[in-house]
């Protein structure tokens, strides 16, 4: 019994030390200032983040963004777990993602939110794949822009503000123009008129030649 009590005490002491060391760690989005600040503080225990570490933007694999197409993102979500004596624990976390489609330098909280979902994650890495539609805004929406993803304890977060737990990752992405429509080439009316005149001329020549014979 004393052994278990001592083991629990050691665990609690380690947990308190971890909290003291990491409680003020800040994870800040690195998009341009016009997009507003997004800050996450690490609580120091039971931490979760995108990718292999929370000090680099490496948790999202983003497909090509072509106007009018269906694109995808593969998320790698890592949960540290609480450790002993809580083996096999899970964490419920929310993911919210925005893309500045009109390249206006801000994230519209509702209109430009492309994904929002909540799931439970076990200890270690979990890969989640999601798809979304790329709007066709024409030339105004073609070029380099920014994507922001936030992983947080609660759903429905805004693109800016401070959250305890989770992580924010910002990516510069490129939106390409929709391909030109394919299909049979239809001549313009003026071209059709010239073709018609030419055909009539050839028919007239053939008729005259037959009469001479």
The DSSP code sequence of 4-19 is HHHHHHHHHHHHHHHH
pLDDT class for 187, splitting at 50, 70, 90? low
pLDDT class for 11, splitting at 50, 70, 90? very low
Structure-model confidence comparison of residues 96 and 84, the more confident one: 96
Residue 86 forms part of a structural domain: yes
Residue 191 forms part of a structural domain: no
**Residue 204: what pLDDT?**
55
> Is 29 in contact with 35 (CB distance < 8 Å)?
yes
Residue 197 forms part of a structural domain: no
Q: Which residues on adjacent β-strands are paired with residue 90? A: 122
> 36-45, 79-88, 109-118, 138-147 — which is least confidently predicted?
79-88
CATH number at residue 169: 2.60.40.10
Residue 192 forms part of a structural domain: no
> Is 173 in contact with 143 (CB distance < 8 Å)?
no
- Sign, CA dihedral 7-11-13-14, equals positive
pLDDT tens digits, 90-111: 999 999 999 999 999 999 999 9
Structure-model confidence comparison of residues 179 and 44, the more confident one: 179
Residue 187 forms part of a structural domain: no
Distance of alpha carbon 22 from alpha carbon 43, whole angstroms? 7
Give the rounded percent of residues in the chain with a pLDDT score beyond 90: 58
Residue 8 has pLDDT above 80, yes or no: no
Q: Give me the residue label for tokens 């995808």.
A: 72
Nearest one of 88, 101, 197 to 140, comparing CA atoms:
101
What are the respective helix, strand and coil percentages of the chain, to the nearest 5? 25, 35, 40
- Residue 103 sits in which domain range? 2-176
Residue 15 has pLDDT above 60, yes or no: no
Residue 202 forms part of a structural domain: no
Residue 210 has pLDDT above 60, yes or no: no
Structure-model confidence comparison of residues 43 and 24, the more confident one: 43
Peptide bond preceding 206 in cis form (omega within 30 of 0): no
Q: Give the pairing of strands 143-152 and 26-28.
A: unpaired
Residue 212 forms part of a structural domain: no
Residue 6 has pLDDT above 50, yes or no: no
Distance of alpha carbon 137 from alpha carbon 141, whole angstroms? 5
Residue 74 forms part of a structural domain: yes
pLDDT tens digits, 114-144: 999 999 999 999 999 999 999 999 999 999 9
Structure-model confidence comparison of residues 136 and 46, the more confident one: 136
Give the rounded percent of residues in the chain with a pLDDT score beyond 70: 69
* Single pTM value for the model: 0.74
Mean pLDDT of 15-29: 53
Overall number of domains in the chain: 1
């Amino acid at each position: 019994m004393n052994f278990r009590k001592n083991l629990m005490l050691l665990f609690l002491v380690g947990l308190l030390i971890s909290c003291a060391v990491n409680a003020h760690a800040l994870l800040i989005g690195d998009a341009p200032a016009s997009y507003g600040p997004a800050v996450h503080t690490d609580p120091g225990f039971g931490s979760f983040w995108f990718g292999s570490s929370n000090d680099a933007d490496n948790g999202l694999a983003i497909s090509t963004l072509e106007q009018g197409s269906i694109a995808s993102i593969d998320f790698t979500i890592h949960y540290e777990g609480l450790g002993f004596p809580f083996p096999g624990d899970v964490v419920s976390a929310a993911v919210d993602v925005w893309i500045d489609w009109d390249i206006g330098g801000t994230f519209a909280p509702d209109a430009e939110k492309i994904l929002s979902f909540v799931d439970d994650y076990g200890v270690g890495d979990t890969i989640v794949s999601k798809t979304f539609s790329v709007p066709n805004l024409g030339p105004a929406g073609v070029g380099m822009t920014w994507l922001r993803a936030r992983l947080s304890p609660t759903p429905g977060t805004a693109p800016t503000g401070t959250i305890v737990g989770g992580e924010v990752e910002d990516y510069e992405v490129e939106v390409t123009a929709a391909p030109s429509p394919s299909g049979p080439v239809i001549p313009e009316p003026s071209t059709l008129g010239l073709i018609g005149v030419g055909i009539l001329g050839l028919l007239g020549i053939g008729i005259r030649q037959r009469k001479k014979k």
